[in-house]
Amino acid sequence: MKIRSRVTEDELHAYVDGELPADRHGAVEKWLAEHSEDAARVAAWRAQAEGIRARYDATAAEPIPDRLKLERLPRARRSWAAAAAAAAIAAFLVGTGVGWMARGASAGPSGFELFTSEALDAHKLYVVEVRHPVEVPGADRVHLGQWLSKRMGHELRIPNLEPLALKLVGGRLLPGPTGASAFFMYEGPSGERFTLYCARSNEPETAMRYRAEDQAAALYWADRELVYVTSGPANRDQLQRVAQAAYDQLEGQAAKKTD
């Protein structure tokens, strides 16, 4: 399975907002025809957007009352009034904008932003450690998996990345946005390190999403009550190979368990 062929949630939002590139329309429409749950979500987002337009378009088209026009104010007061008007307009757009409402967003960051930030912070903190990069060494792989599974309240699987010449250094327990989180570290023959962050979440299943930050980067996906973030050097092709190998194993093991 090649994850890049899947339609992402961001593309679905862009499709609703009329911002999707033309060359992706066919792929998105085919995806919606084959995935009824996503088609229902898109229909709900569109209904929300139409409701917002019906309620606010008429107000937005009304002329500005003379008492609010800035040119009628004394010169000394115009700069203050302009700033106040800009702030009011910004607040209106944030509170009632079509995209904001269609996404059902809250004031906080998205799951993607939240978990990738946690994972990248942990990655940058521990990959530079020489003596204490992990709590439990890779030689105790079975104990590491059992311990972190118990602490997270969910069975975890530790991918074997040796076919990519990446040896398991070990792992550690981390605090996370939804409780205990697991963190695994791998090291290559040249000393390059990659990490896999895992946390409990009710995020909807999603394809991989990429984020780069300074000299590090991350690939995020959500699946079966868990979110995963693979982090490493900011080389997207290399990181994609590592993340794909981890995903394939985790997906394959989960499928075997449900058979």
Q: How many domains does the chain have?
A: 2
CA torsion sign, 35 to 37 to 38 to 44? positive
Q: Does residue 147 share a domain with residue 92?
A: no
Give yes or no: residues 96 and 117 share one domain: no
pTM to 2 decimal places: 0.59
Is residue 125 located within the same domain as residue 214? yes
Whether residue 102 has pLDDT greater than 80: no
Q: What pLDDT shows up at residue 97? A: 47
Contacts of 130 (CB under 8 A, 6+ apart): none
Which H or E run includes 207?
A: strand 206-213
Q: Is 215 helix (H, G, I), strand (E, B) or coil?
A: coil
Q: Is residue 218 very low, low, confident or very high in pLDDT (cuts 50, 70, 90)?
A: very high
Residue 34 banded pLDDT, cuts 50, 70, 90: confident
- Among 53, 85, 103, the domain boundary falls at 103
Of the three residues 103, 122, 149, the one that is the final residue of a domain is: 103
User: What's the whole-number mean pLDDT along residues 212-233?
Assistant: 93
Tell the burial category of 220 from Cβ atoms under 10 Å away from its Cβ (0-12, 13-18, 19+): buried
Q: Are residues 74 and 160 in the same domain?
A: no
Name the more confident of 103 and 41: 41
Same domain, 150 and 242: yes
Read off the CATH number of the domain in which 241 is found. Answer: 3.30.200.100
When pLDDT is cut at 50, 70 and 90, the band that residue 50 belongs to is low
Residues 145 and 36 in one domain: no
Predicted pLDDT at 58 = 56
Separation CA 229–CA 218 (nearest Å): 6
Residue percentage of the chain with pLDDT more than 90: 47
The pLDDT of residue 106 is: 45
Question: 71-92 pLDDT, tens per residue?
Answer: 444 444 444 444 545 555 444 4
Which tens digits make up the pLDDT trace of 154-208? 999 999 999 999 999 999 999 998 899 999 999 999 999 999 999 999 888 888 9
Which of 248, 241, 246, 245 is closest to 197 using CA atoms? 246
Whole-number Å distance between alpha carbons of 24 and 168: 39
62, exposed or middle or buried, with CB in 10 Å at 0-12, 13-18, 19+?
A: exposed
- Say if residue 224's pLDDT is above 50: yes
Residues 200 and 252 in one domain: yes
The residues that bridge with 170 in the sheet, in sequence order, are: 137, 185
Domain that holds residue 202: 111-258
Domain boundary among 103, 134, 162: 103
For residues 25-33, give the mean pLDDT: 85
Q: Based on the fold, state whether residues 125 and 79 are members of the same structural domain.
A: no
More confident residue, 23 or 231: 231
